[in-house]
Amino acid sequence: MAGRRAKLWLRLWLFLEHRLITDMNQHRANNAFSALIVTAAIIFTGYCKKMSAPGEPHAGAIVRTILETKRQLDCKDCLFLAFWDFDGTILKGDCSEGLMQDGRVIYRGLVEQTIEKGFSSVFRRNEAKAFFEEYRRRDETLGHKNSYSFLATQYAGADPTEIEDFARKIFESTYQLYYFQSSLQMLRGLQNSGIENHIVSASPEFFVRGAAHTLGLDPAQINGIRLQMADGKLTSRIAPPLTYAEGKTQRIQEIVQSIEKANPGKTVYILAGFGNSYHTDGPFLRFIQKQQFPAGKPVSVMINGGEAPPEFEGFWTVSQGQTQGGF
């Protein structure tokens, strides 16, 4: 009974937080309602912090291990990073495709919802089913790179800021309830200890950046599949690298090089990586794992990925299921 009550309080708090943010950004709600929301938020914040479920035991152990390496490096002129996959690693399910369990739709993905809103230049508002038929055909016959590119390039001609804003509202109202509690605990634990988190996803960047506010990250720390731009609009051309499999490693290397360039004289260490698929995340996790440090060693974490193939042995493998909304 107590667990159910906690979930209800958490959902209420997230709803109130969303309404408060909307009110502050748009300046449309009346002052009385604003005051009510603020007062309620203050009351519920403390309660929800007490009632929200902690992550599974591995979350604390992983953070402590990473922080021990940071301590051993004992470097004042260093910057410390961690890299994350998003779908299936932080979010239960997939922000692009949605989440189904036992044949039942738990939440709809952004592809379906953005097609319905008219953002796609390829499919009409009522043609989401046609998209998924073609997407699955390409995935099965031409491979993931082709299908992921097809998913993103259908938005050619759209304004990415409009899609990102639409995605942000869906993350705030729905998707954040399906964040893994343990992933949030680890992400925030690292961030609070001076380790900068970056996300590298195979979802379109204008989708996944909608999660920035709910994760407490700057949108620039969230990377996905990018399209080249022309006159402020998306084109049908991928801006390499395609952030899938080895492309994620390439993007991580670009991010590190950019940070090094912006911070001359400082050493950058990637202390950890987190993913959920040996196929799509294994290459970048292996890249992180094979780094050589003067002290300690990096950690690569595989979440709900099952038994490791021989080429990916040595990852810290964990299973987790608790979500922020208790689902």
Least confident of 7-11, 64-68, 166-170, 276-280: 7-11
Q: What are phi and psi of 193, to 5 degrees?
A: -105, 15
- What is residue 202's DSSP assignment? E
39 pLDDT band, cuts 50/70/90, is very low
- Alpha-carbon distance of 92 to 77, in angstroms, equals 36
Mean predicted confidence (pLDDT) in 50-64: 79
Residue 64 has pLDDT above 50, yes or no: yes
Q: List all residues 6 or more positions away from 31 whose beta carbon is below 8 Å from its beta carbon.
A: none
Give the bridge partners for 234, in sequence order: 229
Contact 269/73 with Cβ under 8 angstroms? yes
- Cβ atoms of 10 and 325 within 8 Å: the answer is yes
Model confidence pLDDT, tens digit, residues 254-275: 999 999 999 999 999 999 999 9
- Going 258 to 189 to 52 to 58, the CA torsion angle's sign is positive
Structure tokens at 132: 């998924």
Helices assigned H by DSSP within 119-159: 128-141, 144-153
pLDDT (average), residues 286-297: 98
Q: What is the pLDDT of residue 250?
A: 98
Residue 327 pLDDT level (bands cut at 50, 70, 90)? confident
CB-based contact 301:274 (threshold 8 Å): yes
Phi and psi, residue 309, nearest 5°: -65, 160
| 103-159 residue pLDDT tens | 999 999 999 999 999 999 999 999 999 999 999 999 999 999 999 999 999 999 999
Structure tokens at 218: 């700057």
> Average pLDDT for residues 178-201, to the nearest whole number?
98
Mean pLDDT for all residues in the chain: 89
Question: What does pTM read for this prediction?
Answer: 0.86
- Indicate the helix (H) or strand (E) that contains 104: strand 104-108
Asked if the model's pLDDT at residue 190 lies above 90, the reply is yes
Q: Are 178 and 325 in contact (CB under 8 A)?
A: yes
Q: pLDDT-derived band of residue 14, with 50, 70 and 90 as boundaries?
A: low
Residue 232 has pLDDT above 70, yes or no: yes
| CA 138/CA 123 separation, integer angstroms | 16
What's residue 10's pLDDT?
A: 56
Burial zone of 232 (CB within 10 Å; 0-12 exposed, 13-18 middle, 19+ buried): exposed
pLDDT reading at 50 higher than 90: no
Arithmetic mean of pLDDT, 151-174: 98
